[in-house]
Amino acid sequence: MTHPFDLSGKVAVVTGANTGIGQGIALALAGAGAAIVAVGRSTPGDTQAAVEGVGGRFAFVPADLGTGAPIADIVNKVAAAFGRIDILVNNAGTIRRADALDFSEQDWDDVLDVNLKTPFFLSQAVARHFIAQGSGGKIINIASMLSFQGGIRVVSYTASKSGIAGVTKLLANEWAARGINVNAIAPGYFATNNTEALRADENRNRDILARIPAGRWGTPSDLGGAAVFLASAAADYIHGVTLPVDGGWLAR
């Protein structure tokens, strides 16, 4: 008898899986039995090697997620490679840092396109595929602590991640009855490329660590359990949740 977290036979699409959080989630889903399709601009060689190292199936679909143009092609290529889609993880993201008084329209548009617009339209395309399959599916969006808080000097990032939390709820409301679970994970402060500037700033790094009850930055592997849970049958009655994985940051 399989356990409720078993993803054997499932196909998971993970955007931005070449490094960091996306890579950690891809490896966790593969470890639970899912085939992985990585989507992004950079060839995820390390991720592929790690997935295949645990016996997982892997494919890569190159795409620029700063635009919606490749979305239909992504879905078609995944279906051609593995015959179906069961899980979508909208992880790919970008960030721009500047004071709100100086923030440019280009930096606003670049972040909103990657972090909010593309995840919605990719979710829409994949949900249509789920419905055509007749088997439902799981969508996991990657939110942020800034889905709950304002932050500083990252106005478009805060807007996008606040939007992700709202869109997650809306899609859950519309699609739950169709057997589609839409939820989100809100990582706390994780050691990734996006937080390199914060970790390099001695004062900011000290202040951040002082607030995290766990006393450390998160690592991508810390998100694996939450992703497997939300992608699995164990979460079949969970809809519209944004789950913090933050070392206790919000509790402080």
Give the pLDDT confidence of 2-26 residue by residue, as tens digits.
689 999 999 999 999 999 999 999 9
Query: Rounded mean pLDDT of 219-236?
Result: 96
Cross-strand partners of 89: 14, 140
Task: Answer yes or no: is 25 within a domain.
Answer: yes
Task: Answer yes or no: is 1 within a domain.
Answer: no
Strand order in 242-245's β-sheet? 58-62, 35-40, 11-15, 87-90, 137-142, 180-187, 242-245
Confidence of residue 172 (pLDDT cuts 50, 70, 90): very high
Q: Residue 184 and residue 171: Cα distance in Å, rounded?
A: 11
Task: Answer yes or no: is 3 within a domain.
Answer: no
- For residue 230, pLDDT beyond 80: yes
Task: Answer yes or no: is 6 within a domain.
Answer: no
The range of the structural domain enclosing residue 203 comes to 11-245
CB 141 within 8 A of CB 172: no
Task: Answer yes or no: is 44 within a domain.
Answer: yes
CATH code assigned at 146: 3.40.50.720
Task: Answer yes or no: is 36 within a domain.
Answer: yes
Residues marked as catalytic: 157
Task: Answer yes or no: is 129 within a domain.
Answer: yes
- For residue 222, give both structure tokens: 């810390």
- For residue 189, pLDDT beyond 80: yes
* Total structural domains within the chain: 1
- Structural element, H or E, at residue 79: helix 71-82
- The pTM (predicted TM-score) of the whole model is 0.96
Task: Answer yes or no: is 181 within a domain.
Answer: yes
Which residues have C-beta within 8 Å of that of residue 158, sequence separation ≥ 6? 146, 149, 150, 151
- For residue 143, pLDDT beyond 70: yes
